[in-house]
Amino acid sequence: MRVVTAGEMKALDKTAIEDYGIPGLVLMENAGRQVVEVIRQVLGEVRGKYVTIFIGKGNNGGDGLVAARHLLNMGAGVKVLALVDAGEISGDATINLEIWRNMEQKVYSLHQGDSANIIKLVLMNTDLIVDAVYGTGFKGQVGERVGRIFEALSESGKPIVAVDIPSGLEADTGMVNGPCIRASYTVTFGLPKLGLVLEPGAGYAGKVTVADISLPANLIEKIATERYIITSEMVGDWLPPRPAPAHKGSFGRVLVVAGSRGMTGAACLTGEASLRAGAGLVTVAAPETLHDILEVKLTEVMTAPLPDTGNGSLSKGAKGRILSLLEGADVLALGPGLSQEPEVVDLVRELLPLVGKPCVLDADAINALAGAGDILGKAQAPVVITPHPGEMARLTGKTVKDVQMDRLAAAIEPAAMWNVVVLLKGARTVVAAPDGAVYINLTGNPGMATGGSGDVLTGIVAALIAQGVAPAHAAAAGAYIHGLAGDRAAGESSMTGMVAGDILAALPATFQELAQCEIKSPCMI
C-alpha cells in the first residue's frame, strides 16, 4: 500500500476533480459518510447516542458537517462546535454548512471568549467526539486557545474519531509541535499519510482506517511515489516458493561472521534465525578461541573457527579465511557481537570492498564504518545495513536526535549516496533502497527492545537474500516478519518478559501464518 505526503494527496484530489470530473462535493460527501461508518462501528447503534463534532474552516470541517447530517438522520443527538467564526468557513464546506442550517441545526462558536465551560457541559453529555478541525495542510503549532481545547478533548476520556488526520499533527513528518488531538480512531481518505504511520504521529492517530472516497483506482495506481507500507500481501508475493524436488542447497547458503568473548549469543541467534527463516545451510564463523563454545550451543548450524587475537575477537588475519568460506556461500551476514576492537575495525574496512557476494551488515560491522561510510560505496555486491538510530548517527556523523527527527531522510540519503539498502530499526522501521523506493513497517512492539533482537533480524534478512529475494525486498520482508514474530511472542510471554529467543522461537508459526492466513484488508493499518 502506498503512503503519501499531503501535497501528493492534494494533487490526487485535484486530478480527480479536474480530469475525471468528480465534483469536490462528491468527495466530501463520501468522506463524511466513511467517518459515519467508523462511528457506527465504535458506538454500534447510533440512535439515541450523542456525538459532538468540532470543525474548522476548511474541507476537514466540511467532512465533519456531512457526518453531522447523516448521524442526525440516523437518530443521534449531534452538536457542531466551530473553532472559527462561521463566516470564515469556505469552499465546498459552505454548502454543507448551509444544508446543516436548513435542517434547523445550529453551529456553536468557540472562536472567542472562554469556551472552557461550554466544552465541559457538552462533554458531560457526549458519547463520542469527532475531530474535524485541521486537515493535512496543517503545519507548526496551534494557538494557546485552541491548544487548551485540544487538551480538554484529549483528556476527556471520550472516544475521539479524527477526520483524515488528528488536528495538530503534521501530515508529512508525523511531528507534533504542541497540543494535538490524541485520537482513538482516524479515518483517512484515499491513501495513508506519512504522519499517520511515522512516530510520534502514529501514537496520536489510534486505529487508522484508510477509507475509499471514490478516487478512480487507475488514478491511484499512477501516483509517482514509491513509498509503501509493508503488508502481508506484499511479503507473501516476495517469499520464494519451496518446490517438492528441492534439497537443502536449493534454499541458499548463509555465512555468518559474528561473535567475540561475551557475545557468542549474538552469533548463535543470527545463525539460528537464518535457518528458521528458510536458509538451507548456515555456517557461523567466529573467533577460534570461542569455537568450542559455539560447537556446544549450535546443533543444526555449522561452525568454522577464524583467526583471532587471543582475547576472543577476530584478527586482521581472518580476512583470507572469511573470503575462502564465502566462496561456498550465497550471502554474508557480518557484525553481530564482533566487538569494536581495533583489529576488528580494520578487518571490516579491508574486507568489505573484497566481498563479491551480497552482504548484510549489523551492529559492530556498522560501528566499524563510523566516519568511513564511503567504504560502503566500494562494495562489489549489494549491501544491506541494519542500524539502530545510534549506529546510524555514528555512521553518518549526525546526532541521534537528528536521525529520529526525520527517519525517512536518515534512511533515504545514505541509501542513495552509498548505493546500499538501509534498514533503519526502531518504532516504525524504515527500509530505503538505492533506487528511491521506501518501505515502512508497522509490525512489532516495545518488547522487542531487548538484547539480541537485532541479531535475529539480521539472520532473517540474510536467509531471504540467500533464497533469491531481492535485497530491498528481503530487508522489508525481514522487518515485517521479525515484527510479526515479536507480536506473536509478546502475546505468549508479554512485552515485559520477552527475550530475543522468544522472537526466534515464534518464527516457524509466523511463516505458517503468512502462508495460510487470509490477507487482511488493506484498508486497516
Domain count, the chain: 2
User: Which pLDDT value is given to residue 522?
Assistant: 41
Q: For residue 525, tell me if it sits in a domain.
A: no
> Cis omega before residue 200 (within 30°)?
yes
Q: What is the C-alpha to C-alpha distance for residues 398 and 407, in angstroms, rounded to an integer?
A: 12
Average pLDDT of the chain is: 94
In terms of Cβ atoms closer than 10 Å to its own Cβ (0-12, 13-18, 19+), residue 512 is exposed
Asked whether the predicted pLDDT for residue 139 surpasses 80, the reply is yes
Residue 521's pLDDT is what?
41
pLDDT at 304 over 90: yes
Lowest mean pLDDT among 143-152, 373-382, 499-508: 143-152
User: If you average pLDDT over residues 190-214, what whole number do you get?
Assistant: 96
* More confident of the two residues 498 and 87: 498
Q: Tell me the mean pLDDT in the region 13-28.
A: 96
- Mean pLDDT, range 231-236, rounded to an integer: 94
Q: Are residues 184 and 294 in the same domain?
A: no
Residue 504: domain span: 232-516
In angstroms, what CA-CA distances link 311 with 298, 308, 314, 337, 437? 22, 7, 9, 14, 43
Examine residue 76 and state whether it is found in any structural domain, yes or no. yes
* 245 and 110 co-located in one domain: no
118 against 500, higher pLDDT: 500
Residue 113's pLDDT band, with cuts at 50, 70 and 90, is low
Model confidence at 525, pLDDT cuts 50, 70, 90, reads low
CATH at 512:
3.40.1190.20
193 beta partners: 4
Same domain, 12 and 100: yes
What does the pLDDT look like over 307-321, one tens digit per residue?
999 999 999 999 999
Q: What is the mean pLDDT of residues 489-502?
A: 95
498-524 per-position pLDDT tens digit: 999 999 999 999 999 998 754 444 455
- Can you tell me the mean pLDDT for 180-202? 96
- pLDDT above 90: residue 126: yes
* pLDDT over threshold 70, residue 198: yes
User: Which three cell numbers mark 176?
Assistant: 507534533
Residue 524 belongs to a domain: no
Name the CA dihedral angle for 28, 29, 30, 31, rounded to a multiple of 10 degrees: 50
**152 and 108 within one domain:** yes
Last-in-domain residue among 180, 196, 223: 223
Dump pLDDT digits (tens) for 396-442.
999 999 999 899 999 999 999 999 999 999 999 999 999 999 999 99
Whole-number pLDDT of residue 516: 78
Q: What is the pLDDT of residue 524?
A: 57
How confident is the model at residue 222, as a pLDDT? 78
What's the CATH number where 112 sits? 3.40.50.10260
| Measured distance CA(226)–CA(356) in Å, rounded | 29
> Cα(first)–Cα(last) distance of the chain, in Å?
10
pLDDT at 247: 86
Length of the chain: 525
Same domain? 42 vs 185: yes
Please name the amino acid found at residue 254.
V
Answer yes or no: is 523 within a domain.
Answer: no
Its pTM stands at 0.92
Q: Indicate the residue among 172, 197, 223 that finishes a domain.
A: 223
Q: Is residue 521, in this structure, part of any structural domain at all? A: no
Task: Indicate whether 522 belongs to any domain.
Answer: no
Provide mean pLDDT across the span 344-348: 97
**Is residue 394 in some structural domain?**
yes
pLDDT at residue 92 is higher than 80? yes
Classify strands 253-257 and 281-287 as parallel, antiparallel or unpaired: parallel
> Is residue 269 a contact partner of residue 504, using CB atoms and an 8 Å limit?
yes
pLDDT at position 520: 44
Rounded average pLDDT over 43-70:
97
Tell me which range, 79-93, 110-124, 282-296, is most confidently predicted by mean pLDDT: 282-296
Kindly state the average pLDDT of the residues 376-395.
97
**CB atoms closer than 10 angstroms to residue 312:** 20
Say how far apart CA 485 and CA 504 lie, in whole Å.
8
Q: Same domain, yes or no, for 19 and 71?
A: yes
pLDDT of 116 strictly over 90:
no
Task: Based on the fold, state whether residues 218 and 236 are members of the same structural domain.
Answer: no
Mean pLDDT, residues 473-500 taken together: 96
Burial of 87 (0-12, 13-18, 19+ CB in 10 A): exposed
Q: What is the pLDDT of residue 119?
A: 86
Contacts of 206 (CB under 8 A, 6+ apart): 160, 162, 182, 183, 184, 185, 186
Q: How many CB atoms lie within 10 A of CB 325?
A: 18
Looking at the chain, the whole-number percentage of residues with pLDDT higher than 70 is: 98
Local structure of residue 519 (DSSP, 8 states): P
Mark whether 260 and 187 lie in a shared domain.
no
> Domain check: are 318 and 203 in the same one?
no
Residue 1 within a domain: no
The Cα–Cα gap between 219 and 15 comes to: 8
| Angle value at C-alpha 235, between 240 and 6, nearest 5 degrees | 150
Higher-confidence residue: 84 or 68? Answer: 68
Is the same domain home to 194 and 325? no
- Residues near 150 by beta carbon (within 8 Å), at least 6 away in sequence: 142, 167, 168, 179, 180, 181
Q: Which of 191, 223, 255 is the last residue of a domain?
A: 223
Cα–Cα distance measured from residue 413 to residue 417, given in angstroms and rounded to the nearest whole number? 6
Q: How far apart are CA 76 and CA 392, in angstroms?
A: 52
Q: Determine the Cα–Cα distance for residues 321 and 446; give it in Å rounded to an integer.
A: 39
- The answer, yes or no, to whether residue 392 has pLDDT greater than 90, is yes
Q: Are 503 and 489 in contact (CB under 8 A)?
A: yes
